[in-house]
Amino acid sequence: MAKKSVKDLDLAGKKVLIRADFNVPLDSDRNITDDSRIKAALDTINYIRESGAKLILVSHLGRPKGQKKEEFSLKPVAKRLSQLIDQPVKMADDCIGKNVEEEIDKLKDGEVILLENLRFYSQEKANDQDFAKQLASLADLYVNDAFGTAHRAHASTEGVTHFLDSAAGFLIDKEIQYFQKVLTEPQKPFVFILGGAKVSDKIPVIENMMDKADSIVIGGAMAYTFLKVKGVDIGSSLLEEDMFEVVKKILAKAEEKKVELLLPIDHLITDDIKQGENVETTESADIKSGWIGVDIGPKTQKEFSQKIKDAKTIVWNGPMGIFEKDKFAQGTKAIAEAIAESEAISVIGGGDTAAAVKKFKLSDQMSHISTGGGASLQFLEGKDLPGISALSMK
């Protein structure tokens, strides 16, 4: 059974508590440097506004660690949001309490108030029931559109659902639809591309995807631990020796399940990541002593791209190299381009991978770019996300 969507709610005249993800980056003068998270919530906000409800927006911002600190105030978000919706957005000085209740009572249908940073209270992250009850008491209905925190059971994501009828906003609804589609009924061949820094962070993902994907393509720093286990020389590349046994088991399981596991066959290497002056491409998978693998090489790019071309479903999580440095970004770019050109359904895991795709200006050519790093990883691990599980059923 599916979760209730905001479209299933009778909104007119109701007070609606909306959990958004307004955790935007700010510069030293507290100007918003990237407003995409605010823009991402606009569909839900506008729909609820146009339905004639009163909007009570809540979010966290940064890490105030349970203390009220001006530097973590959501005021800059209220200002930016009011520009984006071309309507004043009231800013409350708190997220619970008498003052907030009075401000909410003054709202007319279609009006919007943003409450102050939820994480000014340590009770938010602790999923304190009293705090959740106080938040819930401000409204008649609850809509969660903050996918980025849906993998956390916090008062504003899980706690409040015990007291209010609840639904997914458009953003979360879309995330659920795409992840369910690729994880439960993927069109084959299904290619899962995995990169990033550490094997240890991604073991549950590999294990879950082994049951679903036809091919698992591994790049990034985590590939070196796999290569080392296979007897390849990896020079001074990043290595997690304590993962050897786990990696051996993964390799054996892949063979048993007949899941193709592709590893880099050449690399871009340097003798100094910081300086990055001496850069070479290897002939084979071996890396000479003292040198470090920083990206997949051209042969690997070609091989991985061919796999992508043949795929009908693609899920990608983690960069192929140290893409933050232009010199080491080519492998990640080649993969992003191959996915962009592909006809397959493509789902891009959040965080670094989404940032990479954005950097290469290819975002529009992906079927879905997840807005949550940790949350998308948890989906790929096959685990429930408390902020989604808690929402009401249709």
Residues with a catalytic annotation lie at 37, 198, 351, 374
- Angstrom CA distances, 109 to 13, 53, 94, 201, 349, stand at 6, 5, 21, 46, 37
Token pair 């440097």 in the structure block, residue:
33
Q: Which residue has the tokens 């203390």?
A: 67
Q: Please work out the total of residues on this chain that contact ligand AMP, with binding judged by CB under 6 A.
A: 15
Between CA 326 and CA 128 the distance in angstroms is 45
Strand order in the sheet with 112-114: 89-91, 112-114, 54-58, 15-19, 141-144, 165-168
Q: Could you tell me whether strands 260-262 and 215-218 are parallel, antiparallel, or unpaired per DSSP bridges?
A: parallel
DSSP-derived 3-state class of residue 299: helix
Write the interaction track for ligand AMP spanning residues 197-216; mark x where CB under 6 A is met and - where it is not. Answer: xx--x---------------
Within 348-387, the residues that bind ligand AMP by CB under 6 A are 352
> Binding marks (x or -) toward ligand AMP, 278..317, rule CB under 6 A?
---------------xx-----------------------
Is residue 235 a contact partner of residue 287, using CB atoms and an 8 Å limit?
yes
CA distances from 288 to 217, 235, 294, 300 (A): 23, 5, 13, 18
Quote the distance between the C-alpha of residue 58 and its chain's center. 19
| Strand pairing category for 267-270 and 279-281 | antiparallel
3-state per-residue secondary structure call for 195-213: CCCCHHHHHHHHHHHHCCC
Question: Between residues 214 and 352, which has the closer beta carbon with respect to ligand AMP?
Answer: 352
Shortest Å distance, C-beta 349 to ligand AMP = 8
Among 97-105, 149-157, 194-202, 384-392, the segment contacting ligand AMP (CB under 6 A)? 194-202
196 binds ligand AMP (CB under 6 A): yes
Q: How far is the CB of 187 from ligand AMP (least distance, A)?
A: 26
62 or 374: CB nearest ligand AMP: 374
Stretch that binds ligand AMP, among 97-105, 192-200, 239-247, 279-287 (CB under 6 A): 192-200
CB of 293 to ligand AMP, least distance (A): 5
Q: x/- string (CB under 6 A) for ligand AMP, residues 228-267?
A: ----------x-----------------------------
Which range binds ligand AMP by CB under 6 A, 10-18, 88-96, 101-109, 190-198? 190-198
Residues that bind ligand AMP (CB under 6 A): 196-198, 201, 220-221, 238, 293-294, 318-319, 321-322, 324, 352
